[in-house]
Chain A
Amino acid sequence: MALVVDIKKTLPNFNLEVAFEATREKMALLGTSGSGKSMTLKCIAGIEKPAAGKIVLDGQILFDSNKGIDLPPQKRQVGYLFQQYALFPNMTVEENIACGTRQMGWIKRQKAVAAMVERMKLGGQEKKRPAELSGGQQQRVALARILINNPKLLMLDEPFSALDSHLRWQLELELIEVLESYGGTSLLVSHKQDEVYRLSDSVCVLNDGYAERKKPVRDLFEAPSTLSECLILGLKNISRARAIDDYTVDAIDWGARLSTNNVVPTCISHVVVKEDDLVFANGVVSNNITCMINQVIDDVTSTVVMLTTPGGGNGDSRLQIRVPKTYGASLNRSERLRLHIAPSKVMLVSQAK
């Protein structure tokens, strides 16, 4: 089930430029809304047409601008789970699922539908209309309709975005099971990084239409390598940086020189630190940043402390850390603190495409 995608398309808000390969894995496209995720899925499905490039699935060319090939969606055998499921309102559950069976004869179709109803635990709902079903049942019908014909690729467009948190968790657990039993290549599109972490093996970050290099999910979270990856992960402690030597950087916005464990690449543009890795200096003298408390915000289970770095180049630069609530209560505005970053925790990031 190898999927090869390499497409370009010019759109009003950005230029879409996506290239990746995926084989029998659970892949994700992670990006904010308007970054081109849904457009990529639509191009793969054949609903939209890229300006240039190629899309190959399991050795079959779905689209190739050089050879003038553009298969209609009906022939691509790509399963697409839409955000709102797109169940046909005038048909029953059975009829909806039967829509997924293309050339099957009548008897074979009845058997296949019955088997799928059983597998998706929809027994008893067969004659109902989509409007009469719960959110979870609707998702199962939508998936049943797609899976009944063993598509070569399964694409999921932000499957949980329209749901409240309780239902979301339930459906996510169900989806995990479905993905395990499907076993082919799947492509999940989402703007929530925690969903991507739980549901996929590899990920491409999309930013303004441009897809970063595909990497294993753990690698992205542990060591993001580009600025857009850091932003999508929600990392807040970012400073412009300049290389001083192989193991030292100048964090311009923080006014600090930092030693690193990893070799500093020549194209470095920023340094990033996770909240948890910013600790109080307590006597350590190297890799420190002098800060001043700007805001103390009481959060549900901890306290957020926003700090400025007076010694840094950018007056607006902020650092953000979390402390236990009891300690947070004793902090005041304008207090000075010294924070320390262990050399192994300094993340080096480039902006280069």
Chain B
Amino acid sequence: MDFFPLLNSIRIALISTIAVFFLGIFFAYHISRANKVIKGFLDVFLTLPLVLPPTVVGYLIIRILGPNHPIGIFFQDLFGIKLVMVWWSAIFATVIISFPLMYRTVRGAFEAFDETLAYSGQTLGLSNTFIFWRIRMPYCRQGILAGTVLAFARALGEFGATIMIAGYIPGNTATIATTVYQYWRINNDEMALRWVIINIAISAVVLLAVNMLEKRNLTIRTKNAV
């Protein structure tokens, strides 16, 4: 059996998650400290991909990166690269769509941090760097991990925007989701079912990981309420 879709889906999800990991933490940290106006506006803007249909997001991305549009033309002319219809085009889609999950989860973790812990560290003489890495980050660690896992799961399961940007080219841009769609279209039930089961298995493992992390996070939080 050709396992290309599996490998392709996983590499897209991994690369996408690494990008979203850093982007998510960066924005979550700075926006949680921003003033109300900036916070409100940016929050809506950055969360939008979560509530838009993936096909809408896909359409918007094509309008910016497509071969008939400014940025697409720029890259075509200058570097000879096509931004769409290659395997890594899907990464644009997965990053934009999974970013809100990481961002919101991590921001929640940062805002749930009890600032008194930082104050107490300061009065004890601990440096601000020590407080950030040894007290603030560990406290938010569960939230960061949970956000990462959620983003990975979402990237793995992306379909709507992916099929528009990267299309379905067997051995080149095919992912698990687009492969199932294709097998369904040509009435190959047996193959479709195989991929469905593979996808369910991976998703189940990912969700299990999220649940375990959430539970540990909750226990630490409630035990702290003296």
- Say yes or no: A100 contacts B124, CB within 8 Å: yes
Which of B117, B125, B127, B220 is in CB contact (< 8 Å) with A86?
B117
Does A329 sit at the interface, judged by CB under 8 A? no
Q: Which residues of B contact A138 (CB under 8 A)?
A: 226
- Say yes or no: B119 contacts A146, CB within 8 Å: no
- Say yes or no: A79 contacts B123, CB within 8 Å: yes
- Find residues 85-130 in chain B having any chain A CB closer than 8 Å to their own CB: 114, 116-117, 119-127
- Say yes or no: B122 contacts A131, CB within 8 Å: no
Q: Which residues of B contact A234 (CB under 8 A)?
A: none
Q: Which of A76, A78, A82, A146 has the most CB of B within 10 A?
A: A82
- Say yes or no: B135 contacts A90, CB within 8 Å: yes
- Say yes or no: B117 contacts A76, CB within 8 Å: no
- Summarize A's interface: helix, strand, loop or mixed: loop
Does B194 sit at the interface, judged by CB under 8 A? no
- Say yes or no: B121 contacts A99, CB within 8 Å: yes
Cβ-closest chain B residue relative to A75: B125
Q: Which residues of A contact B123 (CB under 8 A)?
A: 45-47, 73-74, 76, 78-80
- Report the bound CA distance from A230 to B122 in whole Å: 37
- How far apart are B138's CB and chain A's nearest CB, in angstroms? 4
- Find residues 70-90 in chain A having any chain B CB closer than 8 Å to their own CB: 72-80, 82, 84-86, 88-90
- Say yes or no: A99 contacts B124, CB within 8 Å: yes
Q: Which residues of B contact A72 (CB under 8 A)?
A: 122
Which residues in A have some Cβ–Cβ distance to B below 8 Å? 42, 45-47, 72-80, 82, 84-86, 88-90, 99-100, 102, 130-131, 135, 138, 145-146, 149, 162
- Report the bound CA distance from A85 to B123 in whole Å: 13
- Report the bound CA distance from A42 to B119 in whole Å: 9
- Report the bound CA distance from A140 to B125 in whole Å: 19
Which of B116, B122, B138, B220 is in CB contact (< 8 Å) with A74?
B122
- Say yes or no: A86 contacts B119, CB within 8 Å: yes
Q: How many A-B contacts if CB must be within 8 Å? A: 65
- Say yes or no: B125 contacts A102, CB within 8 Å: yes
- Report the bound CA distance from A146 to B125 in whole Å: 10
- Say yes or no: A89 contacts B226, CB within 8 Å: no
- How far apart are B215's CB and chain A's nearest CB, in angstroms? 14
- Say yes or no: B220 contacts A89, CB within 8 Å: yes
Q: Which residues of B contact A131 (CB under 8 A)?
A: 220, 223-224
- Say yes or no: B135 contacts A74, CB within 8 Å: no
Cβ-closest chain A residue relative to B116: A86
Q: Which of B114, B119, B120, B223 has the most CB of A within 10 A?
A: B120
- Report the bound CA distance from A76 to B117 in whole Å: 17
Does B168 sit at the interface, judged by CB under 8 A? no
- Say yes or no: A90 contacts B116, CB within 8 Å: no
Does B139 sit at the interface, judged by CB under 8 A? yes
- Say yes or no: A82 contacts B126, CB within 8 Å: no
- Report the bound CA distance from A46 to B224 in whole Å: 25
- Say yes or no: B138 contacts A90, CB within 8 Å: yes
- Report the bound CA distance from A47 to B122 in whole Å: 8
- Say yes or no: B122 contacts A46, CB within 8 Å: yes
Task: Please list 27 pairs of residues, one from A and one from B, whose beta carbons are closer than 8 Å in the complex, sorted by A's number.
Answer: A42-B119, A45-B119, A45-B123, A46-B122, A47-B119, A47-B122, A73-B122, A73-B123, A74-B122, A74-B123, A74-B126, A74-B127, A77-B125, A80-B119, A80-B120, A82-B116, A84-B116, A84-B226, A86-B114, A86-B116, A88-B121, A88-B135, A89-B139, A100-B124, A100-B125, A130-B224, A131-B223
- Say yes or no: A89 contacts B125, CB within 8 Å: no
- Report the bound CA distance from A85 to B223 in whole Å: 13
Which of A42, A47, A79, A162 is in CB contact (< 8 Å) with B226?
A162
- Report the bound CA distance from A14 to B39 in whole Å: 28
Q: Which residues of A contact B122 (CB under 8 A)?
A: 45-47, 72-74
- Say yes or no: A82 contacts B120, CB within 8 Å: yes
- Report the bound CA distance from A135 to B121 in whole Å: 20
- Say yes or no: A99 contacts B119, CB within 8 Å: no
